[in-house]
Amino acid sequence: MNLTQLLQEKREEIVSAAAMSLDRSHLPHYEQAGPVESRERLARLYDLIQQSIAQRHLEAIIEHAERIAQERFAAGYDLLEVQTAFNVLEEAIWHHLQACPPVELAEAIGLVSTVQGAAKDALARQYVSLASQTRVTTLNLGALFGAK
């Protein structure tokens, strides 16, 4: 089963696992929103992750992450809370990647990492921009890893 098929077939299982993890995190604003709303939010995020991977296009997930940052920032959510929601979904996806054929696993890991990384980067940049009231560009961390 390739990654696209996996994400389609395991959608409910992955979203449910992420929702349970989010619930166990006891994040104040997500507890206020309740388990139904939190699960629906995770499902929307999952659908955009799945779409971004299938289309090999990041615009929709980046726009969503920026919009979520604006909404959650305005509602008083701490960045950690929102990042945790993104992370529990990513973790749930990771648990299912082993079902990909070994020859496709490296690409699957790369695709999931790229989409999640772009979303979390956009989320964090937007939060920092809102908190500091300035525009923050994408961080270039290559120097920290010896990239040239």
Do residues 127 and 138 lie in contact, with contact meaning Cβ atoms separated by under 8 Å? no
Say if residue 118's pLDDT is above 70: yes
When pLDDT is cut at 50, 70 and 90, the band that residue 145 belongs to is low
Q: Residue 144 gets which letter from DSSP?
A: G
Q: Which domains does the chain have, with CATH numbers?
A: 3-129 (1.10.490.10)
pLDDT over 80 at 137, yes or no = no
Paired tokens of 55: 């289309």
Confidence bin at 116 (pLDDT 50/70/90): very high
CA-closest candidate to residue 69, choices 84, 80, 79: 79
pLDDT at residue 140 is higher than 90: no
At 141 the pLDDT is 54
Query: Is residue 148 pLDDT above 80, yes or no?
Result: no
As given in the structure block, the two tokens for residue 123 are 């989320």
pLDDT exceeds cutoff 70 at 46: yes
Whether the pLDDT of residue 91 is over 80: the answer is: yes
Judge whether residue 73 has pLDDT over 70.
yes
Q: What pTM did the predictor assign?
A: 0.86
Assess whether pLDDT exceeds 80 at residue 139. no
Distance in angstroms (rounded) separating the CA atoms of residues 40 and 120: 19
